[in-house]
Structure 1
Amino acid sequence: MNGVIDFLAGPWEHLFMQRAFAVAVMCGIVSGVVGSHVVLRGMAFIGDAVSHSVFPGVAIAFVFRFNLVVGGMVAGLLTALAVAVFSQNRRLKEDTVIGVFFAAAFGLGIVVLSTAPGYSGSLESFLFGQILGIGDGDVITVGVMGLTLLLVAGAVHKELVTVSLDRETAKAAGLPVFALDIVLYALVTVTVVISLQAVGNILVLALLITPAACARLLTDRIGVMMALAPAIGAGSAVTGLYLSYACNLAAGGLIVLVVTGVFILCWLLAPRHGLLVARRRQPAVESGELTRIPA
């Protein structure tokens, strides 16, 4: 028992771990909330696109020596705005437009970085995350931006859900669909940027999408999904950090592996939509046991 207590209390003795836990929990919560809208919309590709579209902004910030986060956020928001504008032509599907600008943004980032020799080491934290090396200022920045994101997401929650479920009905009801598209893209962009320090550019999509996908498997109710996704995200982040501390392994990678493990469990064991549950119900359906409707 004492060993378990020591294990749980051990990381909290270090200030850098306290900061890491704070950022991990905030990123997990925000990613869960925003990611739920992304999963409902069926546009998981936007998370990957945005995470790569911040690349040219980070590259330009590195070359001209100003804040990498600011550079990435500006680039991500500009790309998100471009996607929202070009997606209004319904001849092209949203994922097609996203793919065009994702590739263009990443190509621009490579070109910019080619002008700055010796950049790879400096951008390692951007690619793979550096949650154990964040400072007090980073914690405050993530906290303020995260709270702002949650407030905005809460303010337009019903409208975003309406657009996600039936875009044409939303237009007929007089909702500003284009403006809501921009809001959602902006929410995704800022969520990705503040999560880069936790898991890095390469793995950030998992933190944005996987907790929401788990919640989608566990419930059919949108309100419950919005509560489950941030809980799964935050819980997985904390668990991954504990494992990182205990095993001396990469924190970002372990956070992603933990949340992926949760997804596999949900995929197998979810009460209504899990694979094993569906297989147990199938023989009963075939035998007629589930055809009777209870009074």
Structure 2
Amino acid sequence: MSLLLDPFAVTFVQRALLGGALVAIVCGIVGTWVVLRGMAFLGEAMAHGMLPGVAVATLTGFPPMAGAAISAAAMSLGVGALQRRGRLSADTSIGLLFVASLSLGIIVISASRSFATDASAILFGDILAIGPSELVALAVALIVTVVVAALGHRAFVALTVDPRQAQLLGLRPRAAHIVLVGLVTLAVVSAYQAVGSLLVVGMLLGPAVAAGQWTRRIVPTMILAALIGTLSVAVGLLISWHAATAAGATVAFTAICSGAVSTGIRALVRALTRPDGRRAPASVIPNTPERTA
């Protein structure tokens, strides 16, 4: 037990665990919608879209999270503008801005003499450097996420199941989509400090995929994803401590592995409970569009 508990006796590891848990809860809520709506590519683009803002903030001495928020917001507005005025498909618009933002961020970082250090922290995060101010910002982000997700839940469900029906019901699917993109942006910016811009999507997708193997309902999936994400943070920090590996990358890898492990366990359970080889009933098949609250 001492091997498990000793690392968490250190103050900066305690802050990393608390900050990572806050990130995991935010990503558990938002990641569930990302999986259901098929928005993984958008999440990845947002993660790279904030790179120029983080780079400029890092080099000029401004708070990196402020730069990340501004840059990610500009990325989301740019995607919308290209789709409306350029008449480009969503994936084309996202792909263009994704590469442009990543390139611009690296160009800005390369202007610094501390290029290697800055690039490593920006791309892969520094969860062990989370301080009290970052914890406050993460707590605020969590409160905003919970409030917005609760208020927009009905509209998000209708948007996911049938956007045309949502329009008929007066739920304004276009506005709901914009708010959902805003939540993705908030989650990506919140997770930046913990796992960096390259690994944010791991926290968004891994726990949500893992939770989706065990429940069909949206809110329980969010709760389970948050718990799995928090456990991934704790396990990742332990592995990083004992194996002397990069903490943020280890946490992100553990989160991704949680999805693979959960899928494997679920498949094994199905095989053991259905020895005749017949297909399992629809009630236990996850990730269907017909999920309800």
TM-score range, shorter chain: 0.7 to 0.9
The question of whether the paired residues in 2 share the 8 Å contact of 1:196 and 1:204 is answered with yes
Q: Of 180, 183, 189, which aligns to 1:184? A: 180
1:115-144 Cα shifts (integer Å, max 9, x gaps): 444433224211111111222211112122
Tell me if 1:277 matches 2:270: yes
Work out the percentage of aligned pairs sharing the same amino acid.
35
Deviation of 1:237 after TM superposition, in Å, equals 0.9
1:172-218 Cα shifts (integer Å, max 9, x gaps): 22222222222111111121111112111111110011111112222
Q: Please, what TM-score do these two structures have when normalized by structure 2?
A: 0.86
Distance in 1 between residues matched to 2:103 and 2:167, nearest whole Å: 35
Q: Please, what TM-score do these two structures have when normalized by structure 1?
A: 0.86
1:85-121 Cα shifts (integer Å, max 9, x gaps): 5446897543332212212222332343444444332
User: Partner of 2:264: helix, strand, or coil?
Assistant: helix
Tell me if 1:213 matches 2:206: no
Aligned to 1:105: 101
The question of whether the paired residues in 1 share the 8 Å contact of 2:202 and 2:253 is answered with no
1:5-57 Cα shifts (integer Å, max 9, x gaps): x2333123211111111001111111011000111101111111000000111
The question of whether the paired residues in 2 share the 8 Å contact of 1:41 and 1:165 is answered with no
Aligned to 2:286: none
Distance in 2 between residues matched to 1:145 and 1:110, nearest whole Å: 27
The question of whether the paired residues in 1 share the 8 Å contact of 2:271 and 2:277 is answered with no
Task: Give the AA of the match of 2:210.
Answer: C
Q: CA 1:253–1:59 in 2, change beyond 3 Å: closer, same or farther? A: closer
Q: CA 1:67–1:149 in 2, change beyond 3 Å: closer, same or farther? A: same
Q: Which runs of 5+ in 2 are unaligned?
A: 282-293
The question of whether the paired residues in 1 share the 8 Å contact of 2:35 and 2:209 is answered with yes
Q: Which runs of 5+ in 1 are unaligned?
A: 291-295
Q: How does 1:119-158 map to 2 (within 5 A)?
A: 119-158=115-154
Tell me if 1:11 matches 2:4: no
Aligned to 1:43: 39
Q: Is the deviation greater in 89-98 or in 107-116?
A: 89-98
Q: Which ranges of 4 or more aligned residues in structure 1 deviate by more than 6 Å? A: none
Q: CA RMSD of the aligned region, Å?
A: 2.6
Task: Give the AA of the match of 1:61.
Answer: A
The question of whether the paired residues in 2 share the 8 Å contact of 1:131 and 1:197 is answered with yes
Task: Give the AA of the match of 1:186.
Answer: G
Q: Is the deviation greater in 114-123 or in 220-229?
A: 114-123
Task: Give the AA of the match of 1:277.
Answer: R
Aligned to 1:293: none
Distance in 1 between residues matched to 2:194 and 2:234, nearest whole Å: 11
Q: Is the deviation greater in 245-254 or in 13-22?
A: 245-254
The question of whether the paired residues in 2 share the 8 Å contact of 1:40 and 1:165 is answered with no
Aligned to 2:248: 252
The question of whether the paired residues in 1 share the 8 Å contact of 2:125 and 2:248 is answered with yes
Deviation of 1:232 after TM superposition, in Å, equals 0.9
